Chain A
Amino acid sequence: NAGVTQTPKFQVLKTGQSMTLQCAQDMNHEYMSWYRQDPGMGLRLIHYSVGAGITDQGEVPNGYNVSRSTTEDFPLRLLSAAPSQTSVYFCASSSRLGYTFGSGTRLTVV
Chain B
Amino acid sequence: SQELEQSPQSLIVQEGKNLTINCTSSKTLYGLYWYKQKYGEGLIFLMMLQKGGEEKSHEKITAKLDEKKQQSSLHITASQPSHAGIYLCGALPSTGNTPLVFGKGTRLSVIA
| A73 CB, min distance to chain B CBs, angstroms | 18
| B8 CB, min distance to chain A CBs, angstroms | 13
Which residues of the partner chain B approach A45 to less than 8 Å between Cβ atoms? 99-101
Which residues of the partner chain B approach A41 to less than 8 Å between Cβ atoms? 104
Task: Please tell me the number of chain B residues within 8 Å of chain A, measured between CB atoms.
Answer: 21
Taken residue by residue from 66 to 106, chain A's Cβ proximity to chain B (1 for < 8 Å, 0 otherwise) reads as: 00000000000000000000000010101110111111101
Whether A30 pairs with B97 at a CB distance below 8 angstroms is: yes
Interface of A is mostly: strand
Task: Please tell me the number of chain A residues within 8 Å of chain B, measured between CB atoms.
Answer: 26
Q: In chain A, what residue has the closest Cβ to B97?
A: A31
Which residues of the partner chain B approach A90 to less than 8 Å between Cβ atoms? 42-43
Chain A contact residues, CB within 8 Å of chain B: 30-31, 33, 35, 40-45, 48, 50, 58, 90, 92, 94-96, 98-104, 106
Instruction: Give Cα A45–Cα B102 distance, bound, in whole angstroms.
Output: 9
Whether B99 pairs with A33 at a CB distance below 8 angstroms is: yes
Instruction: Give Cα A33–Cα B6 distance, bound, in whole angstroms.
Output: 22
Instruction: Give Cα A53–Cα B9 distance, bound, in whole angstroms.
Output: 39
Which one, A95, A98, A103, contacts B48 given CB within 8 A? A98
Which residues of the partner chain B approach A48 to less than 8 Å between Cβ atoms? 99
Whether B45 pairs with A98 at a CB distance below 8 angstroms is: yes
Whether B97 pairs with A42 at a CB distance below 8 angstroms is: no
Which residues of the partner chain A approach B90 to less than 8 Å between Cβ atoms? 43, 99
B59 within 8 A of A: no
